[in-house]
Amino acid sequence: MKHKKIISAVVGAAVAGTIGFGAHANEMVKYEVVDGTIPQSLTGVAGDVANGKKVAINRKKGNCLACHTMPIPEEQFHGLTGPSLEGVAERMNEAELRMRLVDPKVVAYDTMMPSFYRTGQHRVLKDFEGKTILEAQEIEDVIAYLRTLK
Ligand code: HEC
């Protein structure tokens, strides 16, 4: 019994680590969902591929590798919770990718993937109350990077 408790404490710590993203208190951009996609750029500024890759890797920002395999061989750890993002640009267009990042629960109700541009999520750390995980431009940068994964 005692042994079991220790294990769940360790698992709890690992999960808290996974959702321990950085946080932003910027004004939120309004966006429109059209048929489970977000067609309009959040910022109107073209995404920066190199920065998008950095945001995706950064454990305090996208932390995408916690759950996804990506074609980034220089990073050792790749998660298996979500599908591989190799070739994702062949499967999803920009509007679909934006929905997946902003608020994936709209299209995959019980997904484990965090909503990167939504406030008021349940199970967030105190630091995240009223804040989004990524800034609007960071979302656009990650989309630009994902669009290169052909
Ligand atoms: C806590 C785990 C987790 C994290 C972190 C996460 N994802 Fe996901 N993601 C998932 C899961 C699980 C799915 C499968 C969709 C579902 O749950 O139905 C998914 C699906 C996706 C899809 C759809 C892929 C497809 O082929 O259907 C994309 C694109 C995606 N994630 C991108 C990202 C990006 C980019 C990041 C980082 C900014 C990220 N994810 C972070 C768990 C995660």
What SS3 class is residue 37? Answer: strand
118 CB-contact burial (10 Å; exposed 0-12 / middle 13-18 / buried 19+): middle
- Minimum-distance ligand 1 atom for the alpha carbon of 62: 38
What integer pLDDT is reported at residue 145 of this predicted model? 98
Angle at 38 between CA 61 and CA 107, to 5 degrees: 80
Q: Whose CA is nearest to atom 37 of ligand 1?
A: 64
Q: Taking the model in full, what pTM does it have? A: 0.84
Q: Whose CA is nearest to atom 33 of ligand 1?
A: 64
11-31 residue pLDDT tens: 433 443 344 455 555 578 999
Whether ligand 1 lies within 6 angstroms of the CB of 13 is answered as: no
Band (pLDDT 50/70/90 cuts) for residue 126 is low
Whether ligand 1 lies within 6 angstroms of the CB of 47 is answered as: no
* Domains defined for the chain, CATH in brackets: 2-146 (1.10.760.10)
